[in-house]
Structure 1
Amino acid sequence: MKSDAIEIGDALLVIDIQNDFLPGGSLAVSGSEQIIPAINRCIEKFNAIGNPIFLTRDWHPVDHWSFAAQSGPWPAHCVAGTFGAEFSANLLQPEKAQIISKGVRRESEGYSDFEAPDLQARLERAGIRRLFVAGLATDYCVLYTVLDALKLGYQVFLLQDAVRAVNVKPGDGDMALQTMRQIGAQLISSDLIS
């Protein structure tokens, strides 16, 4: 079977498609809105065959350590319960999609989805072996999630056309892609998923 055909034991992990990371948000990622159609096509494919879909989100306290007001590197973003923390209205949210919140404690970095205590448990319960990963941002939450997934023994397919980078420094996104590939993630196009 082709590696990009959805099988039993596959899950889709959609990272942080939240208003604060989209145009007009407090930490907008360039081109972030352009990946939503590709992500929605993947959501439709996984949903149609009943494979698990996880929608992850930053869900920060108002005084999260990463915010500039606490001498952190980022403007305040994705504060729990605010409009900025909501998923994009353009993102499909099937009824069976599971929502994972991360960065919920003040001192919790929240870059990796696996910092959410229940993600790995849910994946194990569902018998997941392979993760198809999309979302924001390539050089932070996507990167750290993929690295943790590989350490935990999951096979990872990164949907290269369905991620975008912050690029605090020019080229950060490309370096993150190279790192993920070198460590074992397979970079594919969302169009190839069947």
Structure 2
Amino acid sequence: MYGNDTALLVIDLQPDFMPGGALPCHQGDAIVPGIAALLARRHYATVVATQDWHPADHASFASQHAGRRPFESIQLHGHAQTLWPDHCVQGTAGAALHPQVDWNNADLILRKGTHRQVDSYSAFRENHGPRGDRPATGLAGWLHERGITEVHVCGLARDYCVLWSAQDAAISGFRVRVLWELTRPVSPDGDEATRIALIEGGIDIAA
């Protein structure tokens, strides 16, 4: 059992990110039992789950850009934006939190990516604007007011939403640990770069 000052952040554990889903992560389903067990053991007094929750015409979808294909990159709000297959559309089965996890143990479920023109990898900030000054989701304030000083991060995808959430948690003043074995990437080809980015951000990587 961790102290009351430590929170678990479960990122985007949703069917669309599992094998067979709209945007499958590499072995994304492999982490579901471990995360389900972690929540069931109630080792964390505070648990936050995020949920990708896009409108059907979201700007990050390749289908919204004529002549573009998934995984191409465009400029959006001055930043490189990967174009994704349509995924986690509001109200669809693929956008639900994974049914094999008891989410009754979550204290907060934060929906992100809800604004049509703005992607939101991070649980803490939207994607547009300078790195440390992007619009906030309000999560950092919520955690600080609960006395949280340390955040442990797991979920999907390691190379995007987990990475950005961990980096923004550190920027927001929390000690951060990524539970590496309870994350999976879109592609394992970027794992070394992800590790380097986490280390450079002062983030602990737990095997």
Correspondences of 1:90-169 after superposition (within 5 Å): 90-115=100-125, 117-167=137-187
Aligned to 2:12: 16
SS in 1 for 2:103: coil
The one-letter code of the counterpart of 1:59 is W
The one-letter code of the counterpart of 1:80 is Q
When normalised by structure 2's length, the TM-score is 0.82
Aligned to 1:59: 53
Aligned to 1:182: 200
Do the aligned residues in 1 keep the contact of 2:40 with 2:105 (CA within 8 Å)? no
Cα deviation, residue 22, structure 1 = 0.8
Answering whether residue 93 of structure 2 is matched by residue 73 of structure 1, we say no
Unaligned runs of 5+ in 2: 66-81, 126-135
Do the aligned residues in 2 keep the contact of 1:15 with 1:55 (CA within 8 Å)? yes
Cα deviation, residue 157, structure 1 = 0.9
Do the aligned residues in 2 keep the contact of 1:61 with 1:79 (CA within 8 Å)? yes
RMSD over equivalenced CA pairs, Å: 1.7
- Provide the identity percentage: 36
More helix by share: 1
Aligned to 1:192: none
When normalised by structure 1's length, the TM-score is 0.87
C-alpha distance in 2, partners of 1:118/1:109?
A: 16
Do the aligned residues in 2 keep the contact of 1:147 with 1:180 (CA within 8 Å)? yes
Show CA shifts across 1:23-82 (max 9, x none): 21100112111111221222123x356x11001011111111110112361000001111
SS in 2 for 1:65: coil
Show CA shifts across 1:93-130 (max 9, x none): 12553100011101221101113623122212211100
The one-letter code of the counterpart of 1:157 is R
Name the CA shift for 1:48/1:141 in 2 (closer, same or farther; >3 Å): closer
C-alpha distance in 1, partners of 2:36/2:64?
A: 35
C-alpha distance in 1, partners of 2:140/2:88?
A: 23
